[in-house]
Structure 1
């Protein structure tokens, strides 16, 4: 008689969570980055403490090795910022540190774009290295006796990097044969993770839409010194980008959120920023319609204690 192992139900109970699980992949982005701050050694801390009449062991102090405000260094950090923004913009949150979920059909594009950022970073680090002697000389002047040449590597090449991978979040198949009970526990754990991922995604979309609508409403209805507030194109452009991202990443977990996004999109559809500057009537019309959307969003945020969403005070 041949014994067969019954496969545990590894599908999530939530249809939205199941869609996430079958159409998304985990993507992890990490950085290798030269540290530019270093703690003072015991002798240096004691010297610093003496100037305040304090004991060195109760003092925490450090030094900044390089001027991070220098344009060439800022170019390097700007690339890291753009890489993180891109990663977050094409993905949904996942309840594992350092991981987010991207669409499986976007993996190739994601892989290509991160490679572009990596090449840009390599070029920026080469330029930074050309100014390295200048930065070290400035550090020697600013740090005085705290300067220590051994804190500085010979070159900055290879000390900054972007890495990415696509880790599996599913239970390993071999575990099913080795220990069915543990495999079942892992299946349940993954189910809970994707259920939580749905809640995180819905919360993130709701909060972002609320902030964008609130900002646009404030620009349209508020006044400064008796005049309409300054209205920038980005107030409309950011909403348009949100609608596009929502359409690409929405998992259909909330009909109410879908309806609110649709209402907000209808309010600003076809409206150009310059039209809002030129027409007070149009400003008032859009502002009034957005107020209704904002009111519903505020209620949606307040009424979700289990999702732990809190509005920041103005």
Structure 2
């Protein structure tokens, strides 16, 4: 579906239909070498003796490799970047491991995931260069608990990231095979997407509230009689939120839309350094954000009772 087609859908459907028409389900999976292993029964018994306990009542494990090593941290950092990226460009879905991605973002998503795969392969390759050294260090640290059989010949191929696009819509063949079951599946999927709209709204509401609360505290609060220090990211994170909200918002809550626009207008064009130099501006922005925060708090309190806005067809 082209951008023009998606925009057309956005103007003529309600939030739930808009979500179903413009989004696709995505799933990311990781295969990661496990660095912890349970002790054998004999080892548990031996460990329990030092505490005067029974081995069957003791849960114990050992760490196979030092995950604090810089090259191990580099491998794990790729996984964290993948998760952060995926979360930033998608919406939650009420099914474990699945998030909703804009259909017009598929190509960029595929390209970025391929790039992450290359980064991971490179990081694992560099980690594997230190594998024998890490294994040797583990032998010294584990002592009699060290078991060479716990360790593969190489770490290459033991860290992988994969992604797919699972179907969350009712299978069309059910329409002919069992119309009643097909209708039940349609209702189930509709319910899932209703929940997805609520989850998206809650996620945006919670994030904006946290960002506004943090910046307001930094601007209005004092420490040792002096204005609190704040980082440029306190404002930068808000601008990133505005962009993500613009891209992913399904327009299910008019009050939230208004508050986002209001908050954006308050900090629009304001540089962090200006707030540090101009006390009057600092106080003005803090005061206006406090008003937004109060309204956000009201939405958070009323959240369980809100209904999704549906456009008459």
TM-score range, shorter chain: over 0.9
Shift of 1:145: 1.0
- What TM-score, normalized by structure 2, do the two folds share? 0.93
Partner Cα distance (2:221, 2:40) in 1: 54
Are 2:172 and 1:173 equivalent residues in the alignment? yes
Counterpart residue number, 1:5: none
Q: Which residue of 2 aligns with 1:97?
A: 96
After TM superposition, give the deviation of residue 70 of structure 1 in Å.
Answer: 0.5
Q: How does 1:209-228 map to 2 (within 5 A)?
A: 209-228=208-227
1:145 is matched with 144
Per-residue CA deviations over 1:73-121 (Å, capped at 9, x if unaligned) read 0000001000100000000000010000000000111011000000000
- Provide the alpha-carbon RMSD of the alignment: 1.0
Q: Secondary structure in 2 aligned to 1:304?
A: helix
- SS for the counterpart of 1:155 is coil
Provide the residue aligned with 1:64 in structure 2.
63
Task: Determine the C-alpha separation between the residues in 2 that align with 1:229 and 1:136.
Answer: 47
Please name the residue that 1:238 is paired with. Answer: 237
Q: What SS does the aligned partner of 2:161 have?
A: strand
Structure 1 residue runs of 5 or longer lacking an equivalent are 1-13, 308-314
| Alignment partner, residue 134 of structure 2 | 135
Output the TM-score relative to the length of structure 1. Answer: 0.92
Aligned residues: 294
Please name the residue that 1:3 is paired with.
none
Q: Could you tell me how far apart the structure 1 residues matched to 2:228 and 2:191 are?
A: 46
In structure 1, what is the equivalent of residue 3 of structure 2?
none
Corresponding residue of 1:9: none
Say if 2:38 is the partner of 1:39: yes
Shift of 1:305: 2.9
- 1:12-51 equivalences under 5 Å are 15-51=14-50
Matched, 1:73 2:40: no
3-state secondary structure, aligned to 1:28 = strand
**Where does the alignment leave 5 or more consecutive residues of structure 2 unmatched?**
1-12, 307-313
Distance 1:225 1:287 in 2: 19
